[in-house]
Amino acid sequence: MSEALLDVEKIRSLSGSGRVFYVEKTDSTNEWAKRESAAAMDGSVYLADYQSAGKGRRGRVWKSPEGTSVSMSVLLRPDHLKKESYPLVTLVMGLAAARGISSVCGIGAQIKWPNDVIFDGKKLCGILTELGPEADYVVIGIGLNVNMTAFSGELADRAISMRMAAGHVINREEVTAAVIREFDRCYRIFLEDGDLSGLKEDYEKILANTGKRVRVLDPAAPFTGRALGINRCGELLVLRDDTGFVEAVYAGEVSVRGIYGYV
């Protein structure tokens, strides 16, 4: 497989976005976007073939092999939204990424609430959202596993690439552009509604957690139950085993794991 650099002009053409910026290597596309934040326009996209210091949720390191993955961050300025709604863009990107990946790869990508896109119970991409210091902008980072042929260590049982899922090499420009296009569409709906009302039905159709028994890893009081879906605020609705009541779980507070595995 050729490990050619990304063709940014092709991505701009296919995505219809003129605000796509590219470097071969960077420390982190999220950090790059934040460095550009003073002058960046809403919807600016920052792409790299390789990032040396990528970040995952809860301080984890996210590695992106050269030539086989795509690291991307989107900078947003959702000025008229309430600040408490900003974290919902993580779910908006999750829906967009799953739809974009499925359309290009011909696979049924799903969402593991709140920030992973998966196939066959394994991670295809992760999403990390960060707020600016004055909450004047939002940066959404996404790492796409595109053409890896294997994963090592603890990732071997938890990660998968689009190539492994589809059984053939995936065009990185096409899948990147598809995710950007889908995000633009979903984000417009989100801004119009101010919440996930207009996206909730589509989101739940591909939500892998629905109907599954889950463990909510709340540091204060962990519990188990059955996931039912999400509400318009993006909270996961869980029917608790201990009380029989439905609890809305906020993504920023806890992690959710399947009782019998990752999902």
Q: At 76, which CATH number?
A: 3.30.930.10
pLDDT at 66: 67
pLDDT at 2: 42
CA angle 130, 188, 32 (to 5 degrees): 30
pLDDT at 61: 54
Query: Is residue 97 included in any domain, yes or no?
Result: yes
Q: In what order do the strands lie in the sheet with 246-249?
A: 246-249, 236-240, 223-230, 213-216, 256-258
Cα–Cα distance measured from residue 105 to residue 163, given in angstroms and rounded to the nearest whole number: 8
Q: Predicted confidence band at 188 (pLDDT cuts at 50, 70, 90)?
A: very high
Looking at the structure, tell me whether residues 128 and 196 fall in a common domain: yes
Residue in 95, 91, 157 with CA at minimum distance from that of residue 123: 157
Between helices 89-105 and 172-193, what is the axis angle to 10°? 140
Residue in the block written with tokens 């599954």:
212
Q: Which of 36-40, 102-106, 197-201, 248-252 has the lowest mean pLDDT?
A: 248-252
Looking at the structure, tell me whether residues 171 and 253 fall in a common domain: no
Looking at the structure, tell me whether residues 135 and 248 fall in a common domain: no
Domain CATH code at residue 236? 2.30.30.100
In the structure encoding, which two tokens stand for residue 140, read together? 């959404």
Q: What is the pLDDT of residues 37-80, one digit of tens each?
A: 999 999 999 999 988 866 654 455 555 566 899 999 999 998 87
Looking at the structure, tell me whether residues 44 and 124 fall in a common domain: yes
Residue in 44, 182, 167, 27 with CA at minimum distance from that of residue 101: 182
Looking at the structure, tell me whether residues 53 and 115 fall in a common domain: yes
Mean residue pLDDT of the chain comes to 91
Looking at the structure, tell me whether residues 68 and 104 fall in a common domain: yes
Looking at the structure, tell me whether residues 79 and 160 fall in a common domain: yes
Proportion of the chain above pLDDT 90, given as a percent: 75
Number of domains in the chain: 2
Domain end position, chosen among 158, 189, 204: 204
The mean pLDDT value for 210-235 works out to 93
| E strand intervals along 27-150 | 44-51, 69-76, 110-112, 116-119, 122-131, 138-145
The mean pLDDT value for 192-221 works out to 94
Query: Is residue 253 included in any domain, yes or no?
Result: yes
Looking at the structure, tell me whether residues 144 and 232 fall in a common domain: no
Looking at the structure, tell me whether residues 112 and 126 fall in a common domain: yes
Looking at the structure, tell me whether residues 109 and 226 fall in a common domain: no
Q: Predicted confidence band at 243 (pLDDT cuts at 50, 70, 90)?
A: very high
The mean pLDDT value for 232-251 works out to 94
Query: Is residue 1 included in any domain, yes or no?
Result: no
pLDDT at 156: 87
Query: Is residue 135 included in any domain, yes or no?
Result: yes
**Structural domain span for residue 239:** 210-258
Looking at the structure, tell me whether residues 134 and 49 fall in a common domain: yes
pLDDT at 258: 75
Query: Is residue 147 included in any domain, yes or no?
Result: yes
Query: Is residue 254 included in any domain, yes or no?
Result: yes
φ/ψ of 99, rounded to 5, equals: -70, -45
Q: Which of 71-80, 117-126, 194-203, 249-258 has the lowest mean pLDDT?
A: 249-258
Looking at the structure, tell me whether residues 63 and 175 fall in a common domain: yes
